[in-house]
Amino acid sequence: MEELAEAAKDAAALHGVLMRIQETPNSTELVTYAPFTLFPTPVPKAVFLQALAVQTHYNTLVDKISQDPEFLQEALASTIEVDDFTARLFKIHQQILKEGRSQSIVLGLNRSDYMLDQRDDGSSSLKQIEINTFAASFGGLSSRTPDVHRRILQMAGRLEESQRILDNNPAAGLAGAVAKAWELYGSERAIVMFLVEENQRNIFDQRCIESELWKRNITTKRKRFGDVCKTGYLDQDKRLFVDGQEVAVVYFRNGYMPQNYLSEQTWDARLLMERSLAVKCPDISTHLAGTKKVQQVLARPGVLERFFPNQPQVVEQIRATFAGLYTLDMGPDGDKTVEIALADPDRYVLKPQREGGGNNIYGSEICQVLQRVKGTAERTAYILMDKIHPAPVKNYLLRRDAPLQIRNCLSELGVFGTYVRQGEDMVMNECVGHLLRTKNSEDSDGGVAAGVAVLDNPLLY
C-alpha cells in the first residue's frame, strides 16, 4: 500500500492534480498534490445515470427562478429580515430590477451535489444536498483524476477495473459555455475576467478552465475585488472596463461569503459589475436562486409545478432527488420544525444561508443553536434538512503530511451543468461532467478546499 500510495502521488503530480500549499497560498514556487483517494469508490450505475439525466432540468429550474422576481421576493422575505449578507445581495438584485438588466445574455455554471441514501433493503436513492450556482469548483482537477486512478488500478493488477474508470472532462464543458457567452457578447478584444479570492490555493483547478479558453484564443485575466475597486468603470454604454480592458464575461470565483466583502468599496464593485453590460456568471438573481432558503421552498407541494407547468415527468424527476426540507419561519410550521429537531437532532442537519463548506450544524450543536434562537425571528436564517445516510466504503485518503490509514469513508457526487440563454432563447443547456468527493465518515461537513474531503472517481457497478 505504501508503494502504491507513493506512485499514486507521483501520478497526481504528473497529471496536474495540484494545489498550492497552505503556507504560501499565492505562490506556485511550492505545490503539492490535491488530496485524493487511493482507490476509486464503487457507485451504482443507475443512480449515477439518474444524477446526470436530471441536470439539464436543474439548469432550467435555476434559470427560471432567476427570472421570477415575485418568487424570489416571497421565498427570501423572512431570510432577508435576519440575514444581513443575503439582505445585501437582495438589495443589489432590487436595484438591478429597478434599473433594468443591461445584458440579456445569461451564463450558468452549476453543480448539483448528492449523496446516496441507504435504504433498509440495501438499495440506495439519490438525494440532493444542495445546488451550487456560484463558483462551483473542481471542474478542472476532476478532469485530471481519471488517469490517476487508471494508473493505480493497473499497478494494483486491476486491469479490467482500470478500463471502467469513466472519461470526465468538466473543464472543457465549463469553458465551452463561457466561450459561447463571450462569443455572443460580440467583441473580440474583450476579455473573460476571473474574479478571484485573495488566497488562491486552488488556482490549478481554475487554470484548467483558463487553458481551455486560451485554446480558443479567448483572453482571460485574473482580478481581485481590489482591482475592480481601483480601476473598474462603466462607459456610456455600460461596458465594463478593468485595468483599461473591456470585460465580456465576469466569472465569479469570489463573492459568495460575507468575509469576501472586506469593505463598502467591495460591495460597490459587486454592484458596478452587476450593472454592467458584461455577462455575469452568476448574475445576482442566479446567485440568490442558489440559496438554501430557495432550496427549502422548492420542496413545498406545488412549487415545482409553477416552473414546469404541464411537465409532470420533469417535476417527478426533480422531486425524486429532494431530501426532506423544513421551514424555520415564524408560525406553526416553523414551531413544528423546531420541535422535531430538538426531539431527535441526529436525524437532521441545520443549514445557514452560506456556501463554501464547513457551515452546517449537526447533532447536539443543533439543540444549542435552536434553543438560543427558537423564540426569535433569527431562526429564519436557517433551514432544516433530513440527514442522509450513505453506506460507508473502506478507502485510503491521500493527504499531504497525513499517515496512510484505511478509513470508513462517505462520498458525495456532484454533477456539473452549463447553460447560456440570450433573451428568451436557451442557446445551450448541457450536463458536462461529474465530481466525486470522499471524506472520513467521522467528519460531518466540509469540501476539498475546506480540507476535509478529497477528490475521487466513481467506479460504476
Extract the annotated binding site for substrate.
111, 206, 437
Extract the annotated binding site for ATP.
130, 292, 351-360, 362, 385-388, 412, 439, 445
Question: Do residues 426 and 184 lie in contact, with contact meaning Cβ atoms separated by under 8 Å?
Answer: no
Tell me which residue of 453, 155, 437, 101 sits closest to 285, measured CA to CA.
101
For residue 88, indicate whether it is catalytic: no
For residue 374, indicate whether it is catalytic: no
363 by DSSP, 3-state: which?
helix
Tell me which residue of 221, 223, 243, 224 sits closest to 232, measured CA to CA.
243
Q: CA 306, CA 321: separation in Å to the nearest integer?
A: 18
Q: CA 402, CA 344: separation in Å to the nearest integer?
A: 35
Cβ density class 329-349: b for 16+ within 10 Å, e for less = beeeebeebbeebeeebeebb
Q: CA 218, CA 120: separation in Å to the nearest integer?
A: 52
For residue 363, indicate whether it is catalytic: no
Extract the annotated binding site.
111, 130, 132, 206, 292, 351-360, 362, 385-388, 412, 437, 439, 445
For residue 137, indicate whether it is catalytic: yes
For residue 112, indicate whether it is catalytic: no
Q: What are phi and psi of 413, to 5 degrees?
A: -100, 125
CB within 8 A of 24, min separation 6: which ones? 30
Question: What is the 8-class DSSP label of residue 259?
Answer: G
Extract the annotated binding site for Mg(2+).
130, 132, 355
Spot the catalytic one: 143, 168, 437, 457: 437
Spot the catalytic one: 169, 197, 355, 379: 355
Spot the catalytic one: 180, 351, 379, 407: 351
For residue 111, indicate whether it is catalytic: yes
Spot the catalytic one: 292, 374, 379, 421: 292
Spot the catalytic one: 20, 111, 253, 270: 111
Count Cβ atoms within 10 A of the Cβ of residue 2 and give its class: 0-12 exposed, 13-18 middle, 19 or more buried. exposed
For residue 355, indicate whether it is catalytic: yes
Spot the catalytic one: 59, 130, 253, 274: 130
Q: CA 147, CA 14: separation in Å to the nearest integer?
A: 10
What torsion do the CA atoms of 256, 258, 260, 261 make, to the nearest 10 degrees?
A: 120
CA 254 to each of CA 22, 103, 198, 244, 367: distance values in angstroms, whole numbers, following the listed order: 18, 21, 9, 21, 32
Three cell numbers, residue 202: 486552488
Q: Is 157 left (phi over 0), alpha (psi -120 to 50) or beta?
A: left
Tell me which residue of 435, 394, 445 sits closest to 38, measured CA to CA.
394
For residue 221, indicate whether it is catalytic: no
Q: CA 253, CA 130: separation in Å to the nearest integer?
A: 18
For residue 238, indicate whether it is catalytic: no
Spot the catalytic one: 66, 137, 395, 411: 137
Query: First-to-last CA distance in the chain?
Result: 24
**Which amino acids are annotated catalytic?**
111, 130, 132, 137, 292, 351, 355-356, 437
